[in-house]
Amino acid sequence: MQGPSFLDLVGFGPEGWGAALLMATGMTLAVATGGFAAGSVIGAGVAGAKLSRSRALRAFGDGYTTVLRGIPDLLVIYLFYFGGSAALGVVGQLFGADGFIGMPAFLTGVLAIGVVSGAYQAEVFRGAFNTISRGELEAARAVGMRTGLRLRRIIVPQVLRYAIPGLGNTWQLVLKESALISVTGLVELLRQSQIAAGSTRRPFDFYITAAVLYLVITAVSSYLFRQAEARALRGVRRA
């Protein structure tokens, strides 16, 4: 098979897709970060529900984590993509617009990743909360801290510290899940590779390049999480 060499294809020359692939890597990072952040908010809420005294809230929290961890991520993405478009269509009709209104792919990605990773992060937060000693919570209450202050000064700093390893695992899941968003047409790393593979007829070269770029992202982020963990635990005596 003759044609441009592998390095020409993925490089930055006239025939190269390097710039496009780097842009798409940025998009992957953006959608993963957005989804992870949304998931942190959802996860904190669901963890709060699972730890609450109200039986109804606990049941909701348990149901949420069981369901979202038990069904494929791809289904959730389809739900948000097609379901979101249908809902937008209904809203559009109210304002006199006809026809299909596509759900913005980036928003779909952030929402779908957020909802799924929220379930995983809820479990991480709940586990981290349970490592806080009861005595500290009681002491905070005894010196007169109200819920908000207790949360800010006592609970959140410690939960974050013990949640770092679990959050690191969830981040890796989110990164890999972001590849699934390519089915909605969002031009992230995998979709860009698909486009390049289609136009050059060199699928192997581009998918392997995508794999290497994903590998770089996961390797760098696991290094960063290890550093963060070491830093957060520097004041903790280990058994």
Partner 1 sequence: MDFTFLWETFLKLLSGVPLTLNLALVSTAFGALLAVLLTLMRLSSWRPVGWVAQFYVFVFRGTPLLVQMFVIYYGLGQFRPTLQAWGLWVFFREPYWCAIFALSLNTAAYGSEILRGGLQAVPHREVEAARASGMWGFLLYRRIVFPIAIRQALPAYGSEIILMVKATSLASVITMLEVTGLAAKLISQSYRAVEVFVVAGLIYLVLNFAITRLIALIEWWLSPHLRPAPTVSSGAALHHA
Under the rule (CB under 8 A), what is the footprint of partner 1? Answer: 1, 66-67, 70-76, 78-79, 81-83, 86, 172, 175-180, 182-183, 190, 193-194, 197, 201-205, 207-208, 210-211, 214-215, 218-219
CA 24 to chain centre: 17
Residue 1 token pair: 């098979």
Q: Are 50 and 62 in contact (CB under 8 A)?
A: yes
Q: Are 105 and 88 in contact (CB under 8 A)?
A: no
In the block, which residue shows the tokens 């739900």? 79
Closer of 81 and 129 to partner 1 (Cβ): 81
CB 124, min distance to partner 1, A:
15
Closer of 186 and 210 to partner 1 (Cβ): 210
Closer of 1 and 236 to partner 1 (Cβ): 1
Q: Are 150 and 137 in contact (CB under 8 A)?
A: yes
Residue 45 token pair: 């809420």
Closer of 111 and 159 to partner 1 (Cβ): 111
Q: Are 120 and 173 in contact (CB under 8 A)?
A: yes
Distance CA 78, CA 200 (A): 29
CB 9, min distance to partner 1, A:
12
CB 69, min distance to partner 1, A:
8
Closer of 156 and 208 to partner 1 (Cβ): 208
Q: Helix, strand, or coil here: 99?
A: coil
CB 203, min distance to partner 1, A:
4
Distance CA 119, CA 172 (A): 15
CB 106, min distance to partner 1, A:
18
